[in-house]
Structure 1
Amino acid sequence: MTYEDLGYNTTLEKYKNEQNLNSFLLGRIVLEHKDRYTIKTPDNEFDGELIGKLRFTVQDRYDLPAVGDWVAFSEYDETKALIHAIYPRKSIIERQAVGKSGHIQIIATNIDYGLIVQSANRDFNLNRLERYLTICNASNVNPIIVISKVDLISNEELSFILNQINKRIKEVPVITVNNQENGYNALQSVIQKGKTYCLLGSSGVGKSTLLNNLAGSQQMKTAQISTAVNKGKHVTTHRELIVLNSGGILIDNPGMREIGITDTAIGLETTFETIVEYAQNCKFKNCTHIHEKGCAVLQGVTDGFIDEAAYQNFQKMEKEKLHFESDLQESKKKAKKFGKMVKNFKKQRGDTKY
């Protein structure tokens, strides 16, 4: 294995030289667990943690390593490591943190392609598919739709699903896979050496089975769908980066039942390009596309040029985005207020080093 097999490129090499990081070892985060990180090099794996300076200057989640990151580190005690710097990220896939208003959760970094997996027999949902597309588009990640378990439905049912996708989603590759012989050949053919792919989807859609087939070995446990509630079981419990024999790099994820949209207008504009194009012809620049007279978007829905379900989904995600932006601003105000309080406290006690 080489650094190129892990996704290393000339941009990262240039940064290393410019920042004088040549004295440090180089590796990629393949596993994250609280404040501990598994760092992979072509020859070894290290159990890493942040140096004190980095740990005490953290301001938000973006300042901490995530699966997919490249880091500069030093080795101690054979397989232990101290992380000194995080290399710049070319992409970040994120969502709203579950149960935490105004907070984000980083799913993975430095991703080239997002494999959006939905199962044909139980999980297929166009609205959810558009949510994943919005996350990918906002992150500058190329989406690929993967419909799994197509051997469990009829050809007529599969045709119906593909027609639904083609009607609402344009210019995004769609690949079908099944657990029969050669059922993953089409997906295998798009995996490129040195490129990083992130699996996105709910529990039970077959992400772990897909990973095992691409890897050619049992990398992840698999489980049956719960017959009691018809929901997938959480087999994957953490994010992990795996280098495939074919040369590609795959990041597996726990299933996501909630896919909250962050403050990413570009993602919505790319996913709902038709709606945005119609919005340019609205009578008012600040049109909400809900009730205004002269709204080109509403007229497009009425005339059948804009899919009504897509329009409703767009409105729902737009409201989520605005709500997240409001929560984010409130969180920043509270953090700023707390910072001033700490600073004043140190000043009052005579601590000049604040």
Structure 2
Amino acid sequence: MNLEDLGYNNHLETINKDGISGDFEVGRVIAEYKERYTVRTVSGEYPAEITGNLRYTATGREDFPAVGDWVELMVLDPDFAIIHKVLPRHSVIKRQAVSQTGEVQVIAANIDVAFIVQAVDRDFNINRLERYLTLCHSSKVSPVILLTKTDLIPENRLTGLIEEIQQRIENVPVLAVSNETEEGYDLLLEKIEKGKTYCLLGSSGVGKSTLLNHLSGKTIMKTNTISDSTRKGKHTTSHREMFFLDNGGIIIDNPGMREVGIADTGSGLETTFDRIVSYAQTCKFKDCTHIHETGCAVLEALEKGDIDEKAYENYLKLKREKAHFESSVAEKRKKEKQFGKIVKHYKKYYAKK
């Protein structure tokens, strides 16, 4: 396997134009286990840890390696390597860390396309699709909506669900597959190109592991059924891991996510709800909240039926979450700056003694 088979492309050539010194190799993180990693290089796979300096200089979890990252590492022996540097990412999918205000969790890095997976029998929820789309758009990752378990509903019901999605979400491909009959897999495989990196996003129990097994043509992931008592998905995938398909495509499987907190400080939300944003450009007031103002073009379009009411409500909800996250990040940075000043003053004071 060469670097191109691992997904190495012109972007990496540009950021790595100075080359790697003789003591280091370039590799890609293919699995993560709570700050321990598996890195794949041209010469093989190695268990790896990060250097103490990389850990010390990290300002948050976002600075640590993630599955999909390209790294510089030193191989010490066949069973151990040290990661010295994470190369710049061209994309990173992240969400707000659970129960950690102002912190983010990196889901995967250097992704080209994200398959947003939903089961049509129990998991189907367009509001949730819009959450995942916001994650993708803020990360500059192309989304594809993938509906699974289509054999569990009548064909006319599936057609209705696809139409329902397309009425609210424009310009995002929608594919449908059956893990039981494998119907739709030919079209899905056509979407997967050699050397490109894809990831699977979705709740537990929507069929991501089964999907990966079918795409690979072999059983590489354990699968479970839906819990009979809660009707919720069981966590089959326990960690993030990268897999290489026979056609040259690269797929990252992720544990199911029950919480998809918005960590968007860019324009991801605006891209997801571009129809609402386009109306907002003509509001009477620049700081219009689109809730009660006179002359609000969004409310006028809502009243006329030009904007879907559920999409509007979800937009406001995600907009509040984004504002809260941004304020939390700003407050966190303010406290860090204040702490930095205290440390600087402390060092200056004791240097005089």
TM-score over 0.5 for the pair: yes
Checking the alignment, whether the CA contact within 8 Å between 2:62 and 2:105 is kept in structure 1 is no
Checking the alignment, whether the CA contact within 8 Å between 2:148 and 2:178 is kept in structure 1 is yes
User: Per-residue displacement from partner, 1:265-288 (whole Å, max 9, x unpaired)?
Assistant: 411111111101101110011101
Q: Distance in 1 between matches of 2:325 and 2:306?
A: 30
Matches within 5 A, 1:243-262: 243-262=244-263
Give secondary structure in 2 for the equivalent of 1:84.
strand
Matches within 5 A, 1:32-181: 32-181=32-181
Give secondary structure in 1 for the equivalent of 2:65.
coil
Checking the alignment, whether the CA contact within 8 Å between 2:91 and 2:111 is kept in structure 1 is yes
Matches within 5 A, 1:293-308: 293-308=294-309
User: Per-residue displacement from partner, 1:166-207 (whole Å, max 9, x unpaired)?
Assistant: 110111111101024442222111110000001000001000
Give secondary structure in 2 for the equivalent of 1:93.
strand
- In structure 2, the partner of 1:209 is 210
Q: Distance in 1 between matches of 2:352 and 2:331?
A: 29
Shift of 1:219: 1.3
Q: Distance in 1 between matches of 2:21 and 2:312?
A: 49
Change beyond 3 A, Cα 1:92–1:351: farther
Q: Distance in 2 between matches of 1:324 and 1:20?
A: 38
Checking the alignment, whether the CA contact within 8 Å between 1:202 and 1:257 is kept in structure 2 is yes
After TM superposition, the structure 1 stretch with the greater mean CA deviation from structure 2, 210-219 or 108-117, is 210-219
Change beyond 3 A, Cα 1:295–1:82: same
- For structure 1, the residue ranges without an aligned partner over 5 or more in a row are none
Checking the alignment, whether the CA contact within 8 Å between 2:265 and 2:326 is kept in structure 1 is no
Q: Distance in 1 between matches of 2:21 and 2:162?
A: 49
Question: In the alignment, does 2:219 pair up with 1:218?
Answer: yes
After TM superposition, the structure 1 stretch with the greater mean CA deviation from structure 2, 133-142 or 22-31, is 22-31
Identical counterparts, % of pairs = 54
Q: Distance in 2 between matches of 1:338 and 1:351?
A: 20
Shift of 1:41: 1.6
Change beyond 3 A, Cα 1:20–1:6: closer
State the aligned residue count. Answer: 352
Give secondary structure in 2 for the equivalent of 1:99.
coil
Give secondary structure in 1 for the equivalent of 2:191.
coil
Give secondary structure in 2 for the equivalent of 1:6.
coil
- In structure 2, the partner of 1:239 is 240
Letter in structure 2 aligned against 1:16: N
Change beyond 3 A, Cα 1:21–1:291: farther
Shift of 1:151: 0.3
Q: Distance in 1 between matches of 2:163 and 2:22?
A: 52
Give secondary structure in 2 for the equivalent of 1:26.
strand
- For structure 2, the residue ranges without an aligned partner over 5 or more in a row are none
- In structure 2, the partner of 1:336 is 337
Shift of 1:346: 3.6
Q: Distance in 2 between matches of 1:346 and 1:245?
A: 58
